[in-house]
Structure 1
Amino acid sequence: MASKGDINKTDIQPELPQRWISVPFKEGLSKTGAFTKLKSSAYLEEGIYPVVDQGEKFISGFVNDEDLIYKGDLPVVIFGDHTRVLKYIDFEFAAGADGTKILKPINGVDDKFFYYYLRVLNIPSFGYSRHFKVFESLDLPIPSLPEQQRIVAKLDALFGHLDVLREKLDRIPVLLKNFRKQVLTQAVTGELTKDKLDKYEWIELGYFVENSFYGPRFSKEAYTLDGIPTVRTTDMTDKGGLIITNETPRVKVEEKKLESFRVKNGDLLVTRTGSIGKMAIYTGNEPVIPSAYLIRFRFSDKVLTRFVFYCLTSPYGQKVMGLSSTAITQPNLNAEKIKSIKIPLISLELQKTILYKIDELFLFADKIESQYQSLKAKIDQLPQAILAKAFRGELVGQEVKEYVREIGEVMIAAEGVKTYEKN
């Protein structure tokens, strides 16, 4: 966090073209209309006139009293004195409470140009202190009005393209989530291998369980820096059901108890309280102990732990455990309930074939997701890069064109995922 003594104009505003004239920022502001600063307690959830304040939400609430709305020319720009949030407002509104600054430029400065210029400024954070004082050190560029309007038109068009690209990108996580669910559904039914599993005997999971164990509770005195690591739900990764125990609490355990407590390679851990139903497979050799809210399952050699894991995390398994999105009540998970869940009694070879197909398809989805994450990061950074070029007088649209092609390729792959869902 910066201090107000660190203000350096060249770090905050871009280097402006020499052909542009500029004035001290505050000399470029015109007087704004009257308004009533509303406290958040006065906001309504629904109403006639929207309330705009310095918060992240564009509209923070509503009022019905016409006397409370801003009385002045529109559009204006809202600047959050505490938050640095910017909003372009071209509709009737009521102003929020303390920290909501209403700004309007002098004649000769296009309102949208003014707004875009504020967006390009790199205003440092002073925490919840006030930030408007920073503008005393800055300039307001005033190129010719036709040039301002050309810049605004170009930026409007480019940001419109970016909005379309974001909408397309935002569809990908949902497609991938549904795809992975469908893969697991087909794994449980046998459609992945074209070998219908309903022709096999379905047997309770307890048939495969060698033993189950509830994580023990320890006193505060038992925790030590050089003890045995304890596994927590937060050590379970969301992807692949793996466990990472880099910085977990450690406890002292008597040697004779360690063997019965410890988690071994291939054991399945299931959370029974808190993040109920979250599960993972331990693949290490270092002795670790499950936390008190975990259940440890150890299986016989008649079943592969990963096959059990995918059966339980499939839509079928989640529904049986009461963890699906349609579940009405909070489930009560315990070892006996999990042992009662039925899975198909199939050969190890068929289990391996199913796991191979799951890995193959999930790898395909992971590749698309990686492309999505990379593109999203680039798209999120693009607005500031575009604005910076605009106010250096170098604005071009090539950046967006490059990402249109990349997003198109990822969307084709993602639509392939959607097509797979239907097959």
Structure 2
Amino acid sequence: MSQLPKGWIQTSLGELCTKLTDGSHNPPKAKVIGLPMLSAKNIQNGKLDFGLGSRLITEEEFVAEDKRTRISKGDVLLTIVGALGRSAVVSTHEKFTLQRSVAVLSAPIISSDYLKYAIESPSFQKQIFDNAKGTAQKGIYLKKLRELNMVLPPLPEQKRIVEKLDEVLAQVDTIKARLDGIPELLKCFRQSVLASAVSGKLTEEWRKENKKQFDGELLHSARQKYGSSKYKDDLFNQAVLTLPETPDGWRVIPAGELFSYVTSGSRGWAKYYSDCGALFLRMTNLKYISIELDLEDTIYVELPQSVEGKRSKVELNDLLISITADVGRVAHVAKDIGEAYINQHVALARPNIDRYAKYISLCIASENVGIKQVGVLKRGATKAGLGLDDIRSFALPMPSVDEALAIVRLVDQYFTFADTIEAQVKKAQARVDNLTQSILAKAFRGELVPQNDDDEPAEVLLARIAQARKEAEALAKAAKKAAKAPRKTASKV
């Protein structure tokens, strides 16, 4: 800041505080019951959160630790190790102490809320990060923390700044909350589109103009030419019971009749990992409520000429399905990705009619068809996920090829619309985040509220703080002396 507003003064954090210390560097072992010893994880979104769990210590241990921190209502907490720069004002009389990752600041003469906002300002945050030390986990030492620059306006102006920031940032938080809620709405929208698509509701108007039915002869020819997979009647019958009502002209087909080949990846790929070579696809490459293959996080393998895992080589229009843990994610291989294989947590299903590939993917991804059937078929005390028989036994509501392609086009249009909104929301969220920082920066340049010539200058306030700090230090020394006195008397006796 080149020039401070009238009545303001440049000082250091240490000059503003009558107490600036951190929590225990050697915390007691955790107990089953006791008093809380909080850490940086308990300071989130500008608030102190006891609900996030903490180390518990005995009353006796608390008394010893509390001599260091002596936390009071109105103190400001600041994370100084690991998660740097998060702050909160202590708003409770509940007893607790701290681990080393949190510093406690007491500045009773100035506004606690002003101090918290000042810590959150871009200029102060930059100082924290610029002065942090360490490699694996960065932290800022108390000596350096005390030296960090901070601007101090007159006390009445501090209160005006806090009131204005409370008002403006509450509005920003409201906007942010609304924006943060949109992705969940879009998730529901996408599932609604999928549910309408695979139940025939999305193409009701299309069927009025196109009298097409599922072509059994086409499937028979494909099975003769490319083959099919054996399914289990009992599993298929269970799956059928979960299906929504489907339009006339559609048929419910076991997935095995539509898949020429179903397999899963093999184990023991780690020895083939490489910086280049064939793609190695895992569950992380399959997304939620989407059938797009995600290739952002990829691993490569180099295989010898003869290896068992080559049976899981991926081809164009294959379907990839997660079969362990987070079961039922699906991706359609819509384009040539070169040589690629899958690991043991993913199944590969190869449609015998390519034009149905994307539609079948939508069926498996939809809540009212695939996800519901996954929930039924994966049940069991010892069953950790889906077996290949389960996949072959999916009950799929099948329209004509032409209607399936019409469904895919409509879903693509709706999903593109949702993607556009999602991208706009992300940009808006970034602008809102920048807006918060811009407002804080403006506040601590003295541009958010007007100055008042009648306000007591900050330098007078700083002198009072210095006097209060001297008195606090004197009281601390007297308390230590008093604590030692009984031991001396006892030794003389």
TM-score (norm 1): 0.76
Match status 1:17 vs 2:27: no
Q: CA deviation at 1:241?
A: 2.3
Q: Structure 1 residues 385, 16: closer, same or farther in 2, change over 3 A?
A: farther
Report what 1:173 is aligned to: 183
SS at match of 1:193: helix
Task: Please give the alpha-carbon distance, in whole angstroms, between the structure 2 residues aligned to 1:220 and 1:145.
Answer: 63
After TM superposition, list the pairs within 5 Å mapping 1:100-119 onto structure 2.
Answer: 100-105=102-107, 107=109, 109-119=110-120
Q: Structure 1 residues 219, 117: closer, same or farther in 2, change over 3 A?
A: closer
SS at match of 1:166: helix
Alignment counterpart, residue 379 of structure 1, candidates 416, 420, 432: 432
Q: CA deviation at 1:16?
A: 6.2
Q: CA deviation at 1:268?
A: 0.8
Match status 1:155 vs 2:165: yes
Report what 2:415 is aligned to: 362
> Whose radius of gyration is greater, 1 or 2?
2
Which whole-Å deviations, capped at 9, do the CAs of 1:61-113 have from their partners, x for residues lacking one? 58897x97986763121123324431112321323333243212253x22222
SS at match of 2:93: coil
- Say if 2:15 and 2:146, in contact at 8 Å, map to a contact too: no
Report what 2:300 is aligned to: 249
Task: Please give the alpha-carbon distance, in whole angstroms, between the structure 1 residues aligned to 2:147 and 2:80.
Answer: 16
TM-score (norm 2): 0.66
Task: Please give the alpha-carbon distance, in whole angstroms, between the structure 1 residues aligned to 2:305 and 2:24.
Answer: 69
- Give 1:75's aligned amino acid: G
- Where does structure 2 lack aligned partners over 5 or more consecutive residues? 208-244, 450-493
Report what 2:316 is aligned to: 265
Which whole-Å deviations, capped at 9, do the CAs of 1:134-159 have from their partners, x for residues lacking one? 23323443322222221111111111
Task: Please give the alpha-carbon distance, in whole angstroms, between the structure 1 residues aligned to 2:139 and 2:276.
Answer: 44
Q: Structure 1 residues 128, 243: closer, same or farther in 2, change over 3 A?
A: closer
Q: Percent identity?
A: 24
Q: CA deviation at 1:118?
A: 1.7
- Say if 2:278 and 2:302, in contact at 8 Å, map to a contact too: yes
- Say if 1:50 and 1:59, in contact at 8 Å, map to a contact too: no
Alignment counterpart, residue 282 of structure 2, candidates 226, 232, 255: 232
Task: Please give the alpha-carbon distance, in whole angstroms, between the structure 2 residues aligned to 1:220 and 1:73.
Answer: 54
SS at match of 2:375: coil
SS at match of 1:273: coil
Task: Please give the alpha-carbon distance, in whole angstroms, between the structure 1 residues aligned to 2:12 and 2:142.
Answer: 14
Report what 2:341 is aligned to: 289
Q: CA deviation at 1:55?
A: 2.9
SS at match of 1:305: helix
Q: CA deviation at 1:392?
A: 0.7
- Where does structure 1 lack aligned partners over 5 or more consecutive residues? 1-13, 397-423
Structure number with higher relative contact order (C-alpha < 8 Å, ≥ 6 residues apart):
2
Q: CA deviation at 1:319?
A: 1.1
Match status 1:203 vs 2:253: yes
SS at match of 2:279: strand
Q: Structure 1 residues 223, 128: closer, same or farther in 2, change over 3 A?
A: closer
How many residues end up aligned between the 2 structures?
Answer: 377
SS at match of 2:98: coil
Task: Please give the alpha-carbon distance, in whole angstroms, between the structure 2 residues aligned to 1:86 and 1:192.
Answer: 50
Which whole-Å deviations, capped at 9, do the CAs of 1:365-417 have from their partners, x for residues lacking one? 11111111111122223322211111111227xxxxxxxxxxxxxxxxxxxxx
**Greater per-residue helix proportion:** 2
- Superposition CA RMSD, Å: 3.7
SS at match of 2:168: helix
Range moving further from structure 2, 288-297 or 151-160: 288-297
Report what 1:312 is aligned to: 364
Task: Please give the alpha-carbon distance, in whole angstroms, between the structure 2 residues aligned to 1:106 and 1:15.
Answer: 29
Alignment counterpart, residue 322 of structure 1, candidates 375, 392, 409: 375
Q: CA deviation at 1:204?
A: 0.7
- Give 1:210's aligned amino acid: S
SS at match of 1:343: strand
Q: Structure 1 residues 343, 247: closer, same or farther in 2, change over 3 A?
A: closer
- Give 1:269's aligned amino acid: L
Report what 1:29 is aligned to: 17
Which whole-Å deviations, capped at 9, do the CAs of 1:199-247 have from their partners, x for residues lacking one? 2221111111112223244566655566543322233355432253884
Q: Structure 1 residues 386, 249: closer, same or farther in 2, change over 3 A?
A: same
